[in-house]
Structure 1
Amino acid sequence: MTQPCIHKAGQWDTITPEIAGWRYVSFSVKTLAPGETFTLPADEEEHAFVPLSGAVTASVEGDEIVFGGRASVFDGLGHTLYVGRDTEITVTAADAVELAIASAPATTKHPVRLVTPDDLPVEARGGGNATRQVATPIPPGFPADRLLVVEVWTPGGNWSSFPPHKHEHDHDGEAELEETYYYRLRDPERGWAIQRAYSPERDFELSEVVRDGDICTLPWAYHTTVAAHGHDLYYLNVLAGPAPERTLQAFQDPTLAPLQDGWPALGVDARVPFIPRYPEGAPSPEKD
């Protein structure tokens, strides 16, 4: 049986269904030198491109789309370019670039669409030391087939993805979804967090330190993350599943879910939101 697993930075290149032992989600991060180009041929998968740092130009369906530009994931909200199935795309790096690429098989072709920081709310979620900042460039209402993409920033010392939740069955209040957590730390040399995944019914427990560039594959299990004190954490979630209805419905651990009832009294951590919409001094593309 495929289990939740941490893949360490430097020991993974890409996550495929064959590697993860599931059916839908693929994920990789490409590092590009200035001017470097690569092409993804038209295939039966839809793709989402998220520059973690740097800017790129995408040539797709006769158009050139320039996007990205943040120095790191801690300098601004992300741009996301969605490209539907049966569509070739060529990407060229404007400068040194780290580019996350998420993919999933699709039955319906949807149009190319660029999501910019101006399209995203600067959202604080949770309360007390479970406060984090969330942006959802590809939410359930987005015109895509299966892909869902979420960016999350957690200040040092705070819990995230809390209360622990799971999405492994399709029924009321829960959706079956495969999920990846790709982690980056503001201090990549020393920063760390802890990822927990557990399933009482399967007698499964994973509690492991994660560092910059690690990735977790979650086919099932309750899961939650905590950033070490003083170490701000970012993770990029990619989700996809078999259900025809696009949803992020999750089932919370019933033993811990009541804790969120105390969040209004605790209030939102004053540090959140702590990631600006755009890097300081940088105009939005619409204002160029």
Structure 2
Amino acid sequence: MINEWFHPAGSLAREGFDSVVDADIDGWTHTGFRSVTLGDSSPDEQHPTAIELAAAAVERVLVPLAGESFTVDYTLSDGSTGSRELTGRASVFHGPADCLYLPTGASATVSSAAGRIAIAEAPTAESRPVQFLPAAEVPVELRGSGISSRQVHNFATPAGLDCVKIIACEVITPGGNWSSYPPHKHDEAIPGSESRLEEIYYFETAVSRGSNAPEAADPFSLFSTYSSGAGEITTSATVRTGDIALVPYGYHGPLAAAPGYDNYYLNVMAGPDEERVWLISDDPAHGWVREEWEALEFDTRLPYTGDSAGSAAADSETSKEK
């Protein structure tokens, strides 16, 4: 079925959350995702200022999407309690935000006067300590080159938070650029070469920075997946803010940000392999394009920060390999 694994904004709303991805979705096992709008964030709707995350056998990473500040009051499985303030951002296109890791078995109350927050999840019985990662310490990577330039926030990859299973990052793709390219997969266990990982894509879109768009502008991007030996899948979707694409297996990419419209996606990955590692295999028909990047300049619109777009920051890692 075409777009069987694609879920438009609002279609996964449940229990006060804007979207929920968990094992209630048939065929979904290793990853989870929640997003929620809190407080006075929308002129058209009223939202509660707090929401509960029930204790469950999942580890969680909380990352603000938009809003100035959030309070997370939590109770761990041993009964101990704590509280952490998270500083947010104007939007997902304004650089990283603070992040918080909560171990398996923890419950929490998340509150904000006005904001939106995402929660990445993965089932696990193994525990890690609570971890706070301030925005200033989130590893920022400038990946690709030319029209494949994009900005990656590696907040919950092995370079960031020490999770048991979760591998999560944010990717900003300026208008007219391609991301999740070349198409690649991670659905086989090949030691040292490929790992088995489910993947969630949560999307947001916006008028490109500096553009003088009319009020009727309708930001969008294009996203696709296709089959591999691990299973049949076809996604060919126009994506907008709040949409979610699930990738249980198969090749995924490209994500193409339409000219004039920037794209953001939050990836959550986890799988059955013992080692927490992201290893991919390019589609052999398209992997050769990586060699072309070496002769191209990186897109000077990036990185996007809290103030404005600009040239590559000196402390950002630049990678043409991934």
TM-score past 0.5 threshold: yes
Which amino acid is the alignment partner of residue 147 of structure 2? Answer: N
Q: Decide which of 131, 135, 160 is 2:153's aligned counterpart.
A: 135
| Aligned-pair CA distance for 1:186 | 1.5
| Aligned-pair CA distance for 1:4 | 6.0
TM-score for the superposition, normalised by structure 1:
0.90
Does 2:42 match 1:23? no
| Aligned-pair CA distance for 1:103 | 1.1
In the aligned structure 1, how far is the partner of 2:11 from the partner of 2:256? 23
Residue 283 of structure 1 corresponds to which residue in structure 2? none
Q: Which secondary structure does the structure 2 equivalent of 1:163 belong to?
A: coil
Does 2:81 match 1:74? no
Percent identity for Structure 1 against Structure 2: 36
Question: More displaced, 187-196 or 96-105?
Answer: 187-196
Residue 237 of structure 2 corresponds to which residue in structure 1? 208
| Aligned-pair CA distance for 1:45 | 0.9
Does 2:62 match 1:49? yes
User: 1:180-214 CA distances to partner (integer Å, 9 max, x unpaired)?
Assistant: 10000114961111111012545653321111110
User: Where do 5+ consecutive residues of structure 1 fail to align?
Assistant: 281-288
Q: 1:51 to 1:75 in 2, by over 3 A?
A: same
In the aligned structure 2, how far is the partner of 1:17 from the partner of 1:7? 15
Residue 39 of structure 1 corresponds to which residue in structure 2? 52
Q: Note if contact 1:152-1:234 (Cα within 8 Å) is conserved in structure 2.
A: yes
Residue 285 of structure 1 corresponds to which residue in structure 2? none
Q: Decide which of 191, 202, 210 is 2:219's aligned counterpart.
A: 191
Q: Decide which of 271, 275, 282 is 2:301's aligned counterpart.
A: 271
| Aligned-pair CA distance for 1:279 | 4.5
User: 1:77-111 CA distances to partner (integer Å, 9 max, x unpaired)?
Assistant: 12221100122222221x21111111111121111
In the aligned structure 1, how far is the partner of 2:292 from the partner of 2:101? 38
In the aligned structure 1, how far is the partner of 2:87 from the partner of 2:268? 18
TM-score for the superposition, normalised by structure 2:
0.80
In the aligned structure 1, how far is the partner of 2:126 from the partner of 2:2? 28
Greater share of helix residues, 1 or 2?
1
Q: Which secondary structure does the structure 2 equivalent of 1:82 belong to?
A: strand
Q: 1:152 to 1:144 in 2, by over 3 A?
A: same
CA RMSD between the two structures? 2.1
Residue 219 of structure 1 corresponds to which residue in structure 2? 248
Does 2:129 match 1:149? no
User: 1:112-171 CA distances to partner (integer Å, 9 max, x unpaired)?
Assistant: 111122112332100111110001101135421111111000000111011111111111
Residue 5 of structure 2 corresponds to which residue in structure 1? 5
In the aligned structure 1, how far is the partner of 2:201 from the partner of 2:33? 10
